[in-house]
């Protein structure tokens, strides 16, 4: 099965940076699902993905419900946000947190670590 990476980001330039970093790292082996709203993220997460990179504040609100659903499924994810980690709900504080501005190395290191370790389930 193919690797699928969900990217939830409402700033098109940041989304492109994340998308190109992941695509460069994983090549044609990965399907990148880029969405900008909570509603789109919920739909995409419900279909299943190998891992996810979530901005917190996007169109339609915060991605906490999406993160909780991914956590329940055992799908690895990281928040990629300018928010502070201590602002997360207590149940999500153990999640990986990449603070903006991020380096593309941080993004690719997270994705390759969860894909390479077998933690990520294929959709």
**Quick check: is 99 in a domain?**
yes
Contact 38/63 with Cβ under 8 angstroms? yes
Q: Distance between CA 115 and CA 83 in Å, rounded?
A: 26
Q: Look up residue 90 and give its two tokens.
A: 């207590």
Residue 66, domain member (yes or no): yes
Residue carrying the six token digits 């389930």: 121
* Per-residue pLDDT at 117: 60
Q: Which domain holds residue 56?
A: 3-116
Let me know if residue 90 belongs to a domain: yes
**Token pair of 52 as six digits:** 């996810």
Range name among 35-39, 96-100, 113-117 with the lowest pLDDT average: 113-117
Instruction: Write out the two tokens for 28.
Output: 């044609």
Its pTM stands at: 0.92
> Residue 59 domain-assigned?
yes
CB atoms within 10 A of CB 77: 26
Average pLDDT of 84-102? Answer: 94
63 located within any domain = yes
Q: Look at residue 123 and tell me if it is in a domain.
A: no
- CATH number, domain of 73, equals 3.40.50.2300
């Amino acid at each position: 099965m193919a690797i699928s990476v969900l990217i939830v980001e409402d700033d098109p330039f940041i989304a492109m940076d994340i998308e190109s970093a992941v695509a460069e790292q994983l090549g044609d082996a990965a399907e990148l699902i880029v969405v900008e709203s909570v509603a789109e993220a919920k739909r995409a997460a419900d279909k299943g993905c190998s891992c996810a990179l979530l901005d917190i504040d996007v169109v339609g609100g915060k991605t906490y419900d999406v993160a909780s659903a991914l956590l329940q499924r055992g799908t690895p994810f990281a928040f990629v946000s300018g928010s502070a980690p201590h602002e997360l709900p207590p149940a999500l504080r153990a999640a990986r947190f990449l603070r903006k501005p991020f380096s593309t190395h941080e993004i690719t290191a997270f994705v390759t670590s969860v894909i390479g370790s077998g933690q990520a389930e294929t959709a």
